[in-house]
Amino acid sequence: MHDAAIVIARPPGATQLVLLFHGVGASAADLAPVGEAIALARTDAVVVSVDAPHPSTLGSGREWFPVVGITEQNRPQRIEQALPLFLDTVAHWQRAAGIGPAATTLVGFSQGAILSLEATQAQAPGALAGSVVALAGRFASPVRRAPAGLRFHLVHGEADGVVPARYSVEAAQALQALGGDVTLDLLPGLGHGIDARALGLVTAHVGGRS
């Protein structure tokens, strides 16, 4: 799985690590343009687009957990089964880059965002990252914790018909109630995707301009 990842940038003396996680039925290549924009905004960062470990049950692309037959009731269990490998993947790239969790940013879209968010809720993940940027994502279960030192940036299209924007609104409210560091941007007219506005918000956040 690590061999299929795309290392977009690896500058000498890098001090930051940015890991991108794609949506179900996609691949590391789909988020490469986002990674390239991040690399321009954050020239001190190792930037890697990660390929999910399993062939997608949708018939093309990759996935962390299957979505065929998924329900609100079985989603948490599927994510729980996927989390150990997800956490191992984050740790692998931190070791490979020689960069610790505090200087790591996870950028996820859709299923990649769900895994990135749920990883922050794991019982004993250790220090996962310093920042999570979730595009069109959601928590699978109610928010349980807002780890100290971890920034959450949620970006969601108001016209998203796959993962409704209310999930990001509810997540932001829950994280704030727990004392978390969270920002939320809702984009009018955007469906389940990443447009120029969303990309600008991501690069501003990762580049330290938000």
Residues that are catalytic: 110, 160, 192
End-to-end CA distance of the chain: 33
Q: Distance between CA atoms of 107 and 131, rounded to whole angstroms?
A: 9
CB 138 within 8 A of CB 163: yes
Q: Distance between CA atoms of 32 and 105, rounded to whole angstroms?
A: 16
- If you count them, how many residues does the chain have? 210
Of 37, 39, 65, the C-alpha closest to 53 is: 65
DSSP 147: -
Q: Distance between CA atoms of 47 and 50, rounded to whole angstroms?
A: 10
For helices 32-41 and 196-206, the axis angle rounded to 10 degrees is 40
CB 14 within 8 A of CB 47: no
